[in-house]
Structures are given as C-alpha cells and as structure tokens.
Amino acid sequence: MDKKVHELLNAQINKELYSAYLYLDFSNYFKAAGLDGFANWYMIQAQEERDHAMLFYTYLQNENVTVTLEAVAKPDKVFNSHMDVLLAGLEHEKYVTSLINDIYGAAYDVRDFRTMQFLDWFVKEQGEEETNANDLISKMELFGSDPKSLYMLNQELAGRVYSAPSLVL
C-alpha cells in the first residue's frame, strides 16, 4: 500500500474515534438538559463512529499493513445553546467528509482501486450524515423555540435505534 494512503487511512481511525468522543460529549450535553431523545440520537451517532473506526482498522489489517493507534483528543467545545451543538455536529461532519475525500484523492493518485472501492461506502455515508445533521438543524429552527414542539422532536429522536453498518470487508 502506498505510504501516504496508509498514513491517511491509519489517521482516520483516530479521527473516527474522536468523532465518537465528540458525539458522546453532545449526548452528555443533551442528557444534562433533560432532552433524552437528543441524547439518544447522539449516543447512536457515537456507536456509528466507533464502528467506522473499526472498519478502517480491519481494512488495514486485511491489507497486511501496520495499524498505529494514537491518543484520542478530548472534545473541548463549550456550548451555549442546543443549536450550537447541532451546528457543531454539521461542521464536524463536513470536516470528516473532507478527510474521506482526501484519502480517496490520495488513493486515486496512485491507482489504489481496492482502497477507492472501500471508501465508496464512506463517501455515500458522509452524504447521509450531512443530510441528517442539516435536517436536525432545520427541525430545531422550526420547532425548537416551542416547548411542546421541542418535546415532540425529542420524542422522535428517542425512537432512533442503532443499526450496524452493512459494509463487508
């Protein structure tokens, strides 16, 4: 495997684990605010991000290249409103999309078609993640200032259940 592609894939494990930490932090914020549905939604986001990290980990192992685990940074944002959390989530998903695109571009440059095929699922997933984050922001803009509507939105988010990714390595 190309050295740059390997380094980027390995670094992505850490980025995905950081994403899980970040979403756990979001879940903590909403739990403390009494919004268990929002807390549930972000807890499931954290589970998904841990799974993403493991997909990168397994891919590298299957390619017989070394996996190097690094320390995961502590989330450091302070939020002043529910909307701040949602906007930070969208910003983070756009960042992760840029990381996936960078890895894809590096794989493309060296004609690493196997890695490109592996990343295809993540390209699609990131589109879904950005759409979900945007939808949540739109719903909060529409309903968040009304306590009854916020309660209903919270109930909707409480109904989200975890579903493991269907990517086969």
Over residues 91-114, the pLDDT tens digits come to: 999 999 999 999 999 999 999 999
> Which residue type is seen at 20?
A
Q: What is the pLDDT of residues 149-168, one digit of tens each?
A: 999 999 999 998 888 776 65
Number of H helices, E strands in the chain: 5, 0
pLDDT, tens digit (0-9, with 9 covering 90-100), for 41-91: 999 999 999 999 999 999 999 999 999 999 999 999 899 999 999 999 999
Confidence of residue 32 (pLDDT cuts 50, 70, 90): very high
Residues 126, 138, 129: CA angle, nearest 5 degrees: 10
Confidence of residue 145 (pLDDT cuts 50, 70, 90): confident
Q: Which CATH class is domain 3-158?
A: mainly alpha
Domain spans of the chain, in order of start? 3-158
Asked if residue 70 lies in contact with residue 14, where contact means CB atoms within 8 angstroms, the answer is yes
Q: Which residue has the tokens 């589109």?
A: 127
pTM for this model (two decimals) = 0.93
Who's near 102: CB < 8 A, 6+ residues apart? 8
